[in-house]
A = this chain, B = another copy of it.
Amino acid sequence: MSLVVQKYGGSSLADADRIRHVARRIAAERATGSSLVVVVSAMGDTTDHLIELAGQITRDPDPREMDRLLATGEYQSCALVTMALHTLGTAAVSLTGAQAGIRTDTAHGRARIANVDPARILRELEAGNVVIVAGFQGSTADSHSAGEITTLGRGGSDTTAVALAARLGAERCEIFTDVEGIFTADPRVVPEARLLPVIGYEEMLELAHQGAQVMQTRAVELGWVNDVEIAVRSTFSDHPGTRIKEDPDVEQRNKVRGLATDRNVAKLTLVAVPDRPGIARGVFAPLADAGINVDMIVQNVGHAGATDLSFTVPRSDLVRARRLLEPIVTEMGARELTVDDSVAKVSIVGAGVQNAPGYAARMFGTLADEGINIEMISTSEIRITCMIGEAHLEKAARALHRAFELERPEAGVPAQAH
Stretch at the interface among A76-84, A212-220, A297-305, A382-390: A76-84
Stretch at the interface among A143-151, A316-324, A327-335, A360-368: A143-151
Task: Choose from B50, B68, B84, B147 the contact partner of A144 (Cβ within 8 Å).
Answer: B147
Quick check: is A114 within 8 A (CB to CB) of the other chain?
no
Residues in chain B near residue A143, CB distance under 8 A: 142-144
Residues in chain B near residue A57, CB distance under 8 A: 16, 19-20, 80, 83-84, 87
Report yes or no: B145 in contact with A117, Cβ–Cβ below 8 A: yes
Report yes or no: B80 in contact with A53, Cβ–Cβ below 8 A: yes
Quick check: is A65 within 8 A (CB to CB) of the other chain?
yes
Quick check: is A94 within 8 A (CB to CB) of the other chain?
yes
> Restricting to A48-102, which residues have a CB under 8 Å from any CB of B?
50, 53-54, 56-58, 61-62, 64-66, 68-69, 71-72, 75-76, 78-80, 82-84, 86-87, 93-94, 96, 98-99, 101
How far does the alpha carbon of A170 sit from the alpha carbon of B65 in the complex, in Å? 26
How far does the alpha carbon of A16 sit from the alpha carbon of B101 in the complex, in Å? 34
How far does the alpha carbon of A96 sit from the alpha carbon of B61 in the complex, in Å? 18
How far does the alpha carbon of A145 sit from the alpha carbon of B122 in the complex, in Å? 12
Quick check: is A106 within 8 A (CB to CB) of the other chain?
no
Task: Choose from B19, B65, B96, B142 the contact partner of A94 (Cβ within 8 Å).
Answer: B65
Q: How far is the CB of A102 from chain B (nearest CB, A)?
A: 10
Quick check: is A119 within 8 A (CB to CB) of the other chain?
yes
Task: Choose from B84, B120, B145 the contact partner of A58 (Cβ within 8 Å).
Answer: B84
Quick check: is A159 within 8 A (CB to CB) of the other chain?
no
Residues in chain B near residue A98, CB distance under 8 A: 144-145
Task: Choose from B56, B80, B94 the contact partner of A54 (Cβ within 8 Å).
Answer: B80
For this complex, into which size category does the number of interface residues on chain A fall?
35 or more
Report yes or no: A54 in contact with B75, Cβ–Cβ below 8 A: no
* Shortest Cβ distance from A43 into B: residue: B53
Is the contact region of chain A dominated by helix, strand, or loop, or is it mixed?
Answer: helix
Quick check: is A177 within 8 A (CB to CB) of the other chain?
no
Quick check: is A139 within 8 A (CB to CB) of the other chain?
yes
Residues in chain B near residue A80, CB distance under 8 A: 53-54, 57, 65, 69
How far does the alpha carbon of A117 sit from the alpha carbon of B144 in the complex, in Å? 12
Report yes or no: A83 in contact with B99, Cβ–Cβ below 8 A: no
Q: A20-B57, A57-B83, A57-B87 are in contact. List 14 more A-B contacts (CB 8 A).
A: A54-B79, A54-B83, A58-B87, A62-B82, A62-B83, A65-B80, A65-B86, A66-B83, A68-B79, A69-B76, A72-B76, A98-B145, A99-B145, A117-B145
Q: Can you pick out 30 interface pairs between chain A and chain B where the beta carbons lie within 8 Å of each other?
A: A19-B57, A20-B57, A50-B76, A53-B76, A53-B80, A54-B80, A57-B84, A57-B87, A58-B83, A58-B84, A58-B86, A62-B83, A64-B93, A65-B86, A66-B79, A66-B83, A68-B75, A68-B79, A68-B94, A69-B79, A72-B75, A72-B76, A75-B75, A98-B144, A99-B145, A101-B145, A119-B145, A139-B144, A143-B144, A144-B147
